[in-house]
Amino acid sequence: MKTFMLEVNPNPTYTALAEPSVKTEDFCQVLLHNDDHNAADYVVDCLMRVFGHKTPLAIKIMLEAHENGKSIAEVEGESRAKRHRDQLQSCGLSSTVEKI
């Protein structure tokens, strides 16, 4: 049977890991803006279709936009936020994206 001696370095050195090559995406908020020409039920339906929100959340977002002029519809990565903004705009809704 062989025995092995393990020698421990009392002053180990550490090498920093390289930065990841994939840049993480910025988070953005998709804003829904109030308008005077879309019916409330249509706005709720669009929010449900675009984001998959349940009815109570879609109603809350719509009412907040109506009462305050704008509402955060979703917080997500920048590419998804821009795609969802475009989908809301294609429904005739006023929407913008802001980095957070």
Confidence band, pLDDT 50/70/90 cuts, at residue 28: very high
Q: Read off the pLDDT of residues 11-25 as tens digits, 9 standing for 90 and up.
A: 777 666 666 666 788
HSE (side-chain half, CA atoms, 13 Å) at 43: 27
The per-residue pLDDT for 15 is: 67
pLDDT above 70 for 4: no
- In the predicted structure, residue 50 carries a pLDDT above the cut 80: yes
Task: Report how far residue 31's alpha carbon sits from residue 28's, in angstroms, rounded to the nearest whole number.
Answer: 9
| Mean pLDDT score across all residues of the chain | 90
pTM (two decimals):
0.76
21-32 mean pLDDT: 87
Q: Is the pLDDT of residue 69 over 90?
A: yes
Domains of the chain (ranges plus CATH)? 27-99 (3.30.1390.10)
- 70-77 β-sheet, strand order: 70-77, 27-33, 94-99
